[in-house]
Amino acid sequence: MYVAVKGGQKAIAHAHALLAKEGRGALSVDRLSVDAVAGQLPVLVSRVMTEGSLYDPDLAARAIRQSQGDVIEAITLLRSYRTTLPRLGYTRPIDTARLTPQRRVSATFKDIPGGQQLGATFDYTHRLFDDPSDVLGDNLAENPQSMPRVTDLLGADALLEPDHPEVWDDPEPGDLTTEPGLFPMSRAGRLQALARGDEGFLLAMGYSTQRGFGNSHPFAGEIRVGEVEIEIDVPGVEHPVPVGRIEVTECQMINQFVGAPGAPPQFTRGYGLVFGRGERKAMSMALVDRALRAEEFDERVVAPAQDEEFVVSHADSVQAAGFVEHLKLPHYVDFQAESSLLRRLRSDPSNSKNSVGGAE
Amino acid sequence: MNGHRPEYNYAYLDEQTKRMIRRALLKAVAIPGFQVPFASREVPLPRGWGTGGIQVTAAIIGPSDVLKVIDQGADDTTNAVSIRSFFHRVADVETTTDTEAATIIQTRHRIPETPLKHGQIMVYQVPIPEPLRFLEPRETETRQMHALNEYGLMYVKLYEDIAKYGRIAKSYDYPVLVNGRYLVAPSPTPSFDNPKLHQSAALHLYGAGREKRIYAIPPHTDVESLDFDDYPFQPQRFDSPCALCGATDSYLDQIVVDDNGGKLYACSDTDHCRRNHRLEHPDEDEA
- Chain A CB contacts of B16 under 8 Å are 86-87
ipTM for the predicted complex: 0.74
Check whether residue A75 and residue A103 sit in a common domain. no
Q: What is the pLDDT of residue A134?
A: 60
Domain that holds residue A260: 96-120+142-167+174-321
Check whether residue A353 and residue A288 sit in a common domain. no
Q: What is the pLDDT of residue B211?
A: 93
Cross-chain residue pair B127–A323, CB shorter than 8 Å: yes
**pTM for this prediction:** 0.84
Check whether residue A218 and residue A351 sit in a common domain. no
Kindly state whether residue A159 falls inside one of the protein's structural domains.
yes
| pLDDT band at B108; cut points 50, 70, 90 | very high
Question: Which whole-number Å values give the CA distances from A194 to A5, A162, A197, A282, B224, in the listed order?
Answer: 40, 22, 5, 10, 41
Q: What is the pLDDT of residue B1?
A: 45
Kindly state whether residue A152 falls inside one of the protein's structural domains.
yes
Which residues of chain A from 24 to 53 reach within 8 Å of chain B, CB to CB? 33-34
- Which residues of B form the catalytic set? 33, 242, 245, 267, 273
C-beta atoms surrounding B244 within 10 Å:
21
Kindly state whether residue A125 falls inside one of the protein's structural domains.
no
Kindly state whether residue A307 falls inside one of the protein's structural domains.
yes
Check whether residue A311 and residue A194 sit in a common domain. yes
Q: What is the pLDDT of residue A72?
A: 97
- Chain B CB contacts of A85 under 8 Å are 14
Cross-chain residue pair B42–A318, CB shorter than 8 Å: yes
Q: What is the pLDDT of residue B208?
A: 96
Which residues of chain A from 302 to 331 reach within 8 Å of chain B, CB to CB? 309, 313, 318-319, 321-326, 329-331
Cross-chain residue pair A7–B81, CB shorter than 8 Å: yes
Q: What is the pLDDT of residue A144?
A: 66
Residue among B79, B140, B173 whose CB faces A329 most closely: B79
Contact B188, A334 (CB under 8 A): yes
DSSP strand pairing (B263-267 vs B252-256): antiparallel
Cross-chain residue pair A360–B110, CB shorter than 8 Å: no
Amino acid identity of residue B230, one-letter, is D
Check whether residue A63 and residue A188 sit in a common domain. no
The answer to whether A121 faces chain B, any CB pair under 8 Å, is no
Q: What is the pLDDT of residue A262?
A: 73
What region, left, alpha or beta, does residue A259 occupy, with left being phi > 0 and alpha being psi -120 to 50 degrees? left
Check whether residue A185 and residue A71 sit in a common domain. no
Cross-chain residue pair B268–A183, CB shorter than 8 Å: no
Check whether residue A112 and residue A51 sit in a common domain. no
Q: What is the pLDDT of residue B64?
A: 94
Cross-chain residue pair B165–A345, CB shorter than 8 Å: yes
Kindly state whether residue A66 falls inside one of the protein's structural domains.
yes
- Chain A CB contacts of B110 under 8 Å are 333
Check whether residue A353 and residue A294 sit in a common domain. no
C-beta atoms surrounding A325 within 10 Å:
14
Q: Which of B171, B256, B269 to mutate to test the interface with A (most CBs of A within 10 A)?
A: B171
Check whether residue A15 and residue A147 sit in a common domain. no
Kindly state whether residue A248 falls inside one of the protein's structural domains.
yes
Check whether residue A75 and residue A111 sit in a common domain. no
- Chain A CB contacts of B286 under 8 Å are 1
Looking at the 3D structure of chain A, how many domains does it have?
Answer: 3
Check whether residue A317 and residue A335 sit in a common domain. no
- Chain B CB contacts of A336 under 8 Å are 190, 251-254, 268
Cα B1-B6-B9 angle, rounded to 5 deg: 165
Kindly give the confidence (pLDDT) of every residue in chain A, 360 residues in length, as a single tens digit, with 9 standing for 90 and above.
344 445 677 888 898 999 999 999 999 999 999 999 999 999 999 999 999 999 999 999 999 999 999 999 999 999 999 998 888 888 999 999 888 888 988 888 777 777 788 888 888 887 888 776 665 555 555 566 777 788 777 666 668 888 777 788 878 888 998 888 889 999 999 999 999 999 999 999 999 998 889 877 898 989 999 999 999 999 999 999 999 999 999 999 998 877 777 777 888 899 999 999 999 999 999 999 999 999 888 888 999 999 999 999 999 999 999 999 999 888 888 888 888 888 888 887 776 555 444 444
Kindly state whether residue A314 falls inside one of the protein's structural domains.
yes
Cross-chain residue pair B244–A2, CB shorter than 8 Å: yes
B84 phi/psi in degrees, rounded to 5: -60, -45
- Choose between B135 and A211: higher pLDDT: B135
| Average pLDDT of chain B to the nearest whole number | 92
- Chain A CB contacts of B274 under 8 Å are 1
Check whether residue A190 and residue A61 sit in a common domain. no
Kindly state whether residue A48 falls inside one of the protein's structural domains.
yes
Q: What is the pLDDT of residue A160?
A: 84
Cross-chain residue pair B173–A8, CB shorter than 8 Å: no
Q: Which residue of A has its CA nearest to B44?
A: A80
Q: For the segment B162-173, what is each residue's pLDDT rounded down to a tens digit?
A: 998 888 988 899
Residue among B72, B165, B171 whose CB faces A354 most closely: B165
